[in-house]
Amino acid sequence: MCALTAGGASAHSGLRADALFQTTVVAKAQLKLPFGMSARKVRRMLRRDGYKEIDITYLGILDAKADVCRRGTRYRVKLRANGSYEYRNEIGKCRRAIAPEEVRDIIRKEGFRRIDVADDSAVPYRATGCRNGNRFSLEISEHGDVKVIDAIAKCRPNRLSPRQVRRALRKDGFNRIRFTDRTPPRYVIEACRNARKIRLNIDRRGRIRDRERIGRCPAAISPSQITSILERDGYNRIDVVDDQPPRFRAEACRRTDRFRILISPWGKQLKERRIGECAPPITAAGLRERLRERPENFKAIRVRKGKRYPFVAQVCNSGKRQTLFFSAYGKYEGKRDRGECVSPRLNKITERYDRLRNTEMFIEGCSRRGRRVRIKIDAYGEEIDRQRIGPCN
């Protein structure tokens, strides 16, 4: 009996162990479903039912609680793991979605300035703004909550300087920029673009707020026009030393001063600097004297006033007859060859001195023996008399 009893006890123990094992397995199998509840799953189920602005307040094993919105009404709900609702209580009204045009004002109320909204149609809205000297990247929710993402740069001064405005306009193709009003908070500027003269009204950040066409602008000048432009302004003795755009340089005289002048591509004088002195105007007698002192050894020099050139000189240069042209200040302007130099006949020479009476012509020279001789000749070159006047030096 002891064996039977022991065997029976062993059998009953085996049955209880099997039952306990099965119960444990079933319990473990039943606990797998509640552990599947997660914030991501709760949000997905609530969105499926049309809820928005989901704020999960409790996340348990078998259920979850959240405050949600649908059709302008705010609810507090309890959601079971199988997707059913234990309750849904109305607790108020939902916050309305903001309009795109409200974004800038909402950011400004947070203390930001110089605001740029990247895309008014995207939600969440993205923008940048300045606060406390730094520029921030911002994100604005559908309901107007401003979130600072990151500081991206330092904020520059709130107002662009005239130099910065001028640089920005040049990048946009404007030239001949002139400020007519610099009174804050705007600039009024006259500038040219595509041969059109335009009046611009620009705000402190360099944005064009208004524009008005007020005329035409002259075209750019060519280097060949520089001389005439400076002559019109009272300069003379002009030398163009740099004829390559965008700016031209020339040297010129005004009265007795010499200047270096910077000229814009449109013929406007940009800068003038005195670099020396200029000689005063010359006379015909002064020019004749200069020509006599020249190393070319000019002969038969005759100077007269001209029409195109202030002075015209007729000279003989190495047996060649030349006409030389000079400015009013003695600057050589050019020449023209006239052929061979021919000596005039003796009677033509005497005709030049027809106001004199009892004229006589003499030739002086040195003989082969070293004696200085003076020979008297008539109008035809015949010898009349010969006289020894001393030794030759």
Per-residue model confidence (pLDDT) at position 261: 94
Q: From the DSSP assignment, how many helices (H) and strands (E) are in the chain? A: 7, 23
| Residue labelled with tokens 């045009």 | 101
Give the pLDDT of residue 6. Answer: 38
Q: Where are the domains of the chain?
A: 28-93, 100-154, 162-216, 223-277, 284-340, 354-391
Asked if 101 contacts 120 with a C-beta cutoff of 8 angstroms, the reply is yes
Show pLDDT as tens, one digit a residue, over the chain (393 residues).
Answer: 333 343 444 444 444 444 444 434 333 333 333 445 788 889 999 989 989 888 899 988 888 999 998 888 889 999 998 889 999 999 888 877 788 888 889 999 999 988 888 765 667 888 888 888 888 989 888 888 888 888 888 886 667 788 888 888 988 888 889 999 988 778 999 999 888 999 999 887 788 889 999 999 888 888 899 999 999 999 988 999 998 877 899 999 988 899 999 998 888 888 999 999 988 888 999 999 999 888 888 888 999 999 889 999 999 988 889 999 998 888 889 999 988 887 777 777 777 777 788 888 888 999 888 889 999 888 777 888 989 988 887
CATH of domain 162-216: 3.10.450
Distance, CA of 67 to CA of 90 (rounded, Å): 10
pLDDT of residue 85: 92
Query: How high is the pLDDT of residue 11?
Result: 41
Instruction: Give the residues across from 58 on adjacent strands.
Output: 65
Q: How many CB atoms lie within 10 A of CB 77?
A: 22
8-state DSSP, 234 = T
3-state secondary structure of 10: helix
CA distances from 285 to 211, 278, 290, 314, 392 (A): 62, 19, 9, 14, 34
pTM for the structure as a whole: 0.39
